[in-house]
Amino acid sequence: MRPVGPRRAQVRTAALAGAALVAAAAGCVFAAVGSVAADGSRAEAAAGPAHTAAAVVRSAAEATVIAPAHRPAAPASRGEDLDGKPVGLDDFRGQVLVVNVWGSWCGPCRAEADDLARIERRTRDRGVRFLGINTRDPDREAARSFVRAHGLGFPSLHDPTGKLLLRFPPALLNPQTIPSTLVIDRRGRIAVSIGGAVTEDELDPLLARVLEEAP
C-alpha cells in the first residue's frame, strides 16, 4: 500500500522493448526519450539511443500508457464477485474496461473510491465498464461495506489471496501496489497501468486516449 502523494502534471515518454516486457519478472527497463503534456498536446526533446526501442510508452507520475501495437493481452481472469456471482475480464471484450485493484483495509483505496464512482457513472454511456479486484479481504462483508459506503456501481472479483493478480505482467500490475488501476482496450489488451491511488483528473485524459481509438 502506497501513501497518497503529489502527482506530476506531465507525462514522460519512454521506450519499452518487447523483450523486456516478456521478461517482466526479471524487471523492465524504461528509457526516457522526451515528454508530452497529459493531453498529448506538446512534446519536448527526444533522447538518443534509447529511441530505437520497439514500443513507445508514456508515463505520468505512476502511470504508463503502452502504444497499441505493443500492448500485451490481459490474462483470462475469472472468478466470483462479492455476491458469489461469476464474472471475468472476457465478459467485457469489445468495451473499454477499467480494472481497479483495491482492499477495504487500504487508506489510498478509500481516497480514490469516490473519484472512481464518479468516472464510472459519467462514462458508462460511452461504452466504458469498470471491474474491481478486491484483494487481501478474507471477509466479503467488509468489502461489501466498502462498496456501499462509496456507492460503487460496478462488480469486483473477490481475490483474497492475490492469485488473480499474479496472472498479470508484474511490470504492469505489481501485486504489492494497492491500489492499482489498469485500462483494457476494446481488444482485451492492457493499454494503461497506474500504480497507486488515482484521481478523476488523472484518469480522465488517459481513459480518453483509449476511448478515441478505433474498435
* CATH code, 78-211: 3.40.30.10
Q: Is 77 left (phi over 0), alpha (psi -120 to 50) or beta?
A: beta
In the chain, which residues fall in CATH 3.40.30.10? Answer: 78-211
pLDDT of residue 3: 47
- Please return the burial class of 198, using the count of CB atoms within 10 Å of its CB with bins 0-12, 13-18 and 19+: buried
3-class DSSP string for 89-102: HHHHCCCEEEEEEE
What local confidence, expressed as pLDDT, does residue 215 receive?
Answer: 82
Q: Which three cell numbers stand for residue 78?
A: 475469472
Q: In 10 A of CB 184, how many CB atoms?
A: 24
Taking only the tens of pLDDT, the chain with its 215 residues reads: 444 444 433 333 333 333 333 333 323 322 222 222 333 332 322 233 333 233 434 344 478 999 999 999 999 999 999 999 999 999 999 999 999 999 999 999 999 999 999 999 999 999 999 999 999 999 999 999 999 999 999 999 999 999 999 999 999 999 999 999 999 999 999 999 999 999 999 999 999 999 999 88
The sign of the torsion formed by the CA atoms of 80, 159, 141, 110 equals: negative
